[in-house]
Structure 1
Amino acid sequence: MTMQEQAWADALRRERAGDGSRYAQFLEEYSSVLRRVVRGKLSGAGLDVQEAEDVVQEVLIAIHQRRDQWNDERPLLPWLGAISRYKTIDVLRRRRSELRLRIDLSEREWADLFVAADAPVVDAGARIEDMVSALPRVEQSVVRKLGIEGLSPREAAQATGMKEGTVRVAFHRGLARLLKLAQGGGR
């Protein structure tokens, strides 16, 4: 066991005894080590290293929530490493999944989405309504809630009785269909 690991293990033991000051220092020290590791993992996975702080916070929350599960007769680093590894993997999976669902359009593509080149701008509202009405019912509802009414995904989920993730997926699918419709590609 290294000196650092001994100090961190002692901090967790003291926290259990009611001394939270050393525990706070441990979290700060571990987060700086973890931040470097996570940045490397995100970069290696082709994701934005700016998201490292989100991962670090999730790991620290998980450690804090499970701190009573650590067996203080066993080494601390393998326990910390397991939590850190699994939380990082969870975030990487979630981010990759979100990236697959994301539709990135340029400002010009957004501007051209609902207006055909030969259609007058005043007809854009009617054209949008026609295209939204052509969507499947769930996508139609979600596009109206998020895109037209301006609700957040959480608010739209509450209004429709769906899960927030389902709302996000339906919205992105609806946008993809609208893009096809706007480009004359049908459903």
Structure 2
Amino acid sequence: MNETWTMLMRSALDGDGAAYRELLSALAPALRAFARRILLAAGRDAGDAEDVVQETLLALHLKRQTWDPATPLAPWIWAIARHKAVDVLRRSGRRAEVPIDGLEDFLADAEAEAEPEALSSRDAGRMVASLNGRERDVVEAVCLSGASVKETGARLAMSEGAVRVALHRALKRLAAAHGG
């Protein structure tokens, strides 16, 4: 699994769009399981797992050029996912502690883990500006400003489901437009 992800990401960085789509498709269920485990262990409903998954996939997309192809991909992914889970917990007003007991399966290569460089806000803004109005508003609110799906829905007069759908479509559009 982890070696396959690494191989797919290397191909994606070399311009293979099919490999990138395959990687994102393979990552989503693993990230979903990871997010559910983290949220449940923190005493939260696993309903926010999709927020963690979408925010992680967007961060991976925006920061993919910062990953070092000479290193395993999984530790980099799990570090980003863990940070996004903490962000979701923080936004809910609860103390953001992420238990690590039982996560060895997800963090097999933890010793190679490194914090990726941050994407400049100007670059992120330029990418997001390529989206249509509603999708741009959703991505800016959820991914760039850190608003929850619920807060975003209330601000934009959308249901939480509509916000999630718009976010998902926007991420797919960004992936397609920017090397995915």
Aligned position for 1:50: 47
**Partners of 2:52 and 2:84 within 8 A in 1:** yes
Instruction: Report the 3-state secondary structure (helix = DSSP H, G, I; strand = E; otherwise coil) of the residue aligned with 1:96.
Output: coil
Among residues 64, 68, 72, which one is paired with 2:65 in the alignment? Answer: 68
> 5+ residue gaps in structure 2?
95-136, 138-144, 152-180
Aligned position for 2:15: 18
- Structure scoring higher RCO (CA < 8 A, sep ≥ 6) equals 2
Aligned position for 1:177: none
Q: Which runs of 4+ in 1 moved over 3 A?
A: none
> 5+ residue gaps in structure 1?
98-153, 155-162, 169-187
What amino acid maps onto 2:92 in structure 1?
R
Please report the RMSD computed on the Cα atoms of aligned residues, expressed in angstroms.
Answer: 2.2
Between Structure 1 and Structure 2, the one with more helix by share is 1
Aligned position for 2:129: none
Give the TM-score normalised by structure 1.
0.48
Per-residue deviation at 1:20?
1.0
* 1:64-116 Cα distance to aligned partner (Å, 9 max, x none): 1110000001111111111111111111111235xxxxxxxxxxxxxxxxxxx
Aligned position for 1:41: 38
Per-residue deviation at 1:16?
1.5
Aligned residues: 98
For 1:56 and 1:44, how far apart are their aligned partners in 2? 17
What amino acid maps onto 1:73 in structure 2?
A
Among residues 91, 95, 107, which one is paired with 2:92 in the alignment? Answer: 95
Per-residue deviation at 1:41?
1.3
What amino acid maps onto 1:75 in structure 2?
P
